[in-house]
C-alpha cells in the first residue's frame, strides 16, 4: 500500500522541495499551508499533491485536518514538521507576541501535529517523524532568541520521542539546515548575503533540494536504525559534536 506523507509548510520553499521529492519517491503527499492559497494551488498543479489549509499553531485545527487527511487520503506514515516563521528582534526589545507566535508555530506545532498521528503509527508498527530544526537551534543567533529556543526545543523533542517510540517501529529524527537558497534568503541585501556565504566552508548556500534529499533518506524504510539523530546540513558553518 502506498504510504502517506504530510509536510507542514509544504507548498513553498524548503517545504515545496520536500513535497516534490517525496512525491517522486512514490508517497501520497499532502502539503499543509497557513494562508497563501495561491502558492498552494500552484504547488498542487506543479507537483500533483493534495493541499490543505491549517494553522499548525492551533491544536484543534491540526486534529481536524489530520482526521480529514486520514479519511480522504489515508493514515499518516510520514510526518515532516517543517512549518516555521521568524519574528526577529533583540531580546530586550522583544514583545510578547513576537515570542509567542514563534514558539507556537515552530515548536508547539510539532506536538499539535504529532500527537494525533502517533497512536496510529504505534498500532501499525511503523512511522517516520522528521523535524526541521535549524543551525540557529544548535548555536544560537543574535536577534533570534525566540527562533533559536523553538528550534533547539525541536531537537530535544526529537530525542525524547525517539526513545519512547523506538520499539514500535517509529523513528524520530531532526534536520538542522544552515542558510538555504530560498526566496527569503535571496531577497537579502547582497553584501549581507556575501558575508554569510563567506562563513560557509563549502563556499555557497545550500539548496532546498538538498534538504529534501535528507528527508527522503530518513523517511525510507531502510533508515529504520537511525533515530534520535540530528543531521547538521550547513556546509560546515557549524560543526556540532
Own/partner contacts of 29-37, CB < 8 Å, gap of 24 or more, are 29/4, 29/5, 30/4, 30/5, 30/6, 30/69, 30/73, 31/6, 31/7, 32/6, 32/7, 32/8, 32/56, 32/65, 32/83, 33/9, 34/9, 34/83, 36/11, 36/12
Cα Rg, the chain, nearest whole Å: 17
Q: Are 171 and 127 in contact (CB under 8 A)?
A: yes
DSSP string, 163-182: HHHGGGTEEEEEEEE-SB--
- 147 annotated active-site: yes
Q: How far is residue 88's CA from residue 67's CA, in Å, rounded to a whole number?
A: 34
Q: Residues 6 or more apart from 116 whose CB is under 8 A from it? A: 62, 63, 66, 67
Of 138, 163, 170, nearest to 228 by C-alpha is 163
Rounded (10°) angle between helices 96-103 and 145-165: 30
Catalytic residue among 27, 33, 147, 179: 147
Q: How is residue 199 annotated by DSSP?
A: T
SS3 119: helix
> Catalytic positions, please?
147
Amino acid at each position: 500500500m502506498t504510504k502517506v506523507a504530510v509536510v507542514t509548510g509544504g507548498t513553498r520553499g524548503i517545504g515545496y522541495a520536500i513535497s516534490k521529492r517525496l512525491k517522486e519517491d512514490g508517497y501520497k503527499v499532502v502539503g499543509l499551508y497557513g494562508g497563501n492559497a495561491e502558492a498552494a494551488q500552484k504547488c498542487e498543479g506543479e507537483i500533483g499533491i493534495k493541499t490543505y489549509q491549517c494553522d499548525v499553531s492551533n491544536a484543534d485545527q491540526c486534529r481536524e485536518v489530520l482526521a480529514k487527511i486520514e479519511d480522504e487520503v489515508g493514515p499518516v506514515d510520514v510526518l515532516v514538521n517543517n512549518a516555521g516563521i521568524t519574528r526577529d528582534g533583540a531580546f530586550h526589545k522583544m514583545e510578547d507576541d513576537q515570542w509567542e507566535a514563534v514558539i507556537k508555530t515552530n515548536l508547539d506545532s510539532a506536538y499539535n501535529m504529532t500527537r494525533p498521528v502517533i497512536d496510529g503509527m504505534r498500532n501499525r508498527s511503523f512511522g517516520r517523524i522528521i523535524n526541521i530544526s535549524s543551525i540557529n537551534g544548535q548555536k544560537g543567533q543574535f536577534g533570534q532568541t525566540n527562533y533559536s529556543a523553538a528550534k533547539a526545543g525541536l531537537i530535544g523533542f526529537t530525542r525524547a520521542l525517539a526513545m519512547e517510540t523506538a520499539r514500535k517501529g517509529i523513528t524520530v529524527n531532526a534536520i538542522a539546515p544552515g542558510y538555504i537558497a530560498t526566496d527569503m534568503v535571496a531577497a537579502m541585501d547582497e553584501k549581507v548575503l556575501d558575508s554569510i556565504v563567506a562563513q560557509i566552508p563549502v563556499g555557497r548556500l545550500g539548496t532546498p533540494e538538498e534538504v529534501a534529499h535528507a528527508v527522503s533518506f530518513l523517511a525510507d524504510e531502510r533508515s529504520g536504525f537511525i533515530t534520535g539523530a540530528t543531521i547538521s546540513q550547513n556546509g560546515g558553518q557549524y560543526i556540532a559534536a
